[in-house]
Amino acid sequence: MSSSIRVAICGAGPSGLSQLHAFESARQKGCEIPEIVCYEKQSDLGGQWNYTWRTGLDEYNEHVHSSMYFNLWTNLPKECAEYVDYTYDKHFGQSVPSYLPRNMFYDYIRGYAQQNNVCQYIQFNKNIQWINYLEEKNKFNIVIKDLKNDKIYSEEFDYVIIATGHYSTPFIPYLNGIETFPGRLLHSHDYRFAEDSQNKNVLIVGNGVSGEDIALELYKYGTKFIRISYRTKAKELKWPDEIKEVPSITKIDKNIVYFKDESSDRFDAIIYCTGYVHHFPYLDDNLRLKSSNSIYLPNLYKTIFWLDQPRLIYIGMQRVTFALNIANIQSWYARDFILGNIKLPATKQEMELDIKQWKIKEKNIKNIYDAFHFQKDYLIDLLNSTDYPNFNVEQMMEILFDCIKARNENILTYRDKIYTSPITNTIAKQHHTTWIKEFSQSLEDFIQK
């Protein structure tokens, strides 16, 4: 591998860090790696997990990336989001609970980056403005804005890796009469605290994962009553009395919202939990991924390589259940392609056929358990082609199944369960306080001195 080869990584969130770790791991084993530059528009690493109080625009008048809210807890066990070569036991020096508050998970990601010596490649406060492909040079042109110095410049690269995530640009549908609503109106992207909704009536639009989690936090922090409006069907979980699922909205008339079942209620706030869109305005149109949030994306071979130009690589872009592991394994696969250890099919038609076969399998997904099995098969497909460290995927699957079962049995207590790590076989520590009664974000309250 010639050191004159240049690779740009866009984003230093978990996916970007995984890609940096993949290259640094190869370098430490004696491989010659390309010149690596990672551009991160925030002033610190972590992507979504880099919490900010800001909403809307940041200090440089750029779109705020993070959708993280202050009191968020993980809604899947940490045992399903554990780095194979940097475990929670190693980071914290002891066993910790299976479900963690936001700042503990962020601390773990920071430790992973520091342990693996990847910060040397990251340039902070650098925002990608534009990427296009120069046919005459066989290179990518990247226009970068140095936010601190308010300067714009360009660089050329042989490979570009997009690792900027897909949970930062909200999807906000129109609701009939929403313009008359005088209360607080926001998308979950801008949600930060539940305390300002104490003793109020809140409507959540959308019963996906973010709708479920925010509803539970509002309940925990004393919101008077919460309604979750669903578009297709109710989840029919065992909600507390203060939370109720209602069908889609037919009309909003000032503070009164009417639903398809002819019921209505008065609300002080409406929170859109309607998801996000893949949004890459900095990419030339012939490089830009255009897709809904699906489990197997179109136009990407192995959901990694752009069909029309495989040297454009996307990492961590599909809806996932194995959290950090999928981006890590994708990064190993992408690295091995760049280093010449993996060969892609010779023609676009062969890659399209592979995508078609996976899309056929995806159509057979009927429920979340099918989705777990699908992603397990996808992981194994990638693992078989790389030297990524082995781990017990089947045990991780069993934990996911049990997590869903516990959640369906009691939505208020499932975060109190503990599991055994598939990586270390360590049993998680039972936290001294149940989730519903734990209001602390302090690491000291979760780690035994």
For 200-233, write each residue's pLDDT tens digit. Answer: 999 999 999 999 999 999 999 999 999 999 999 9
44's CB contacts (< 8 A; 6+ apart) are 50, 124
Euclidean distance between CA atoms 9 and 27, whole angstroms: 17
Percent residues over pLDDT 70 in the chain: 99
d(CA 425, CA 423): 6
Predicted TM-score of the model (pTM): 0.95
pLDDT value for 223: 98
Predicted pLDDT of residue 449: 60
- What number does CATH give the domain 178-272? 3.50.50.60
Query: In the structure encoding, which two tokens stand for residue 415, read together?
Result: 């975060």
The pLDDT of residue 368: 87
For residue 77, what pLDDT is reported? 96
Domain boundaries in the chain? 6-168+276-398, 178-272
Assess contact for 33 and 26: CB atoms under 8 A. Answer: yes
Q: Mind listing the pLDDT tens digit for each residue in 301-354? A: 999 999 999 999 999 998 777 778 899 999 999 999 999 999 999 999 999 999
Please tell me the predicted confidence (pLDDT) of residue 292. 74
What's the CATH code, domain 6-168+276-398? 3.50.50.60
pLDDT, position 323: 77
Is residue 294 pLDDT above 90, yes or no? no
* Range of lowest pLDDT (116-120, 316-320, 374-378): 316-320
Structure tokens given for 168 = 């930062």
Of 19-28, 284-293, 307-316, 406-415, minimum mean pLDDT range: 284-293
Order of strands across the sheet with 151-157? Answer: 126-134, 139-146, 151-157
Q: How confident is residue 236, by pLDDT bands cut at 50, 70 and 90? A: confident
**For the chain, what percentages of helix, strand and coil (3-state, to nearest 5) are there?**
30, 20, 45
Chain-centre distance for alpha carbon 300: 18
Q: Is residue 293 scored above 80 in pLDDT?
A: no
In the chain, DSSP finds a helix count (H) and a strand count (E) of: 8, 18
Burial of 225 (0-12, 13-18, 19+ CB in 10 A): middle
For residue 159, the cross-strand partners are: 7
Residue 3 has a pLDDT of 62
pLDDT, position 143: 98
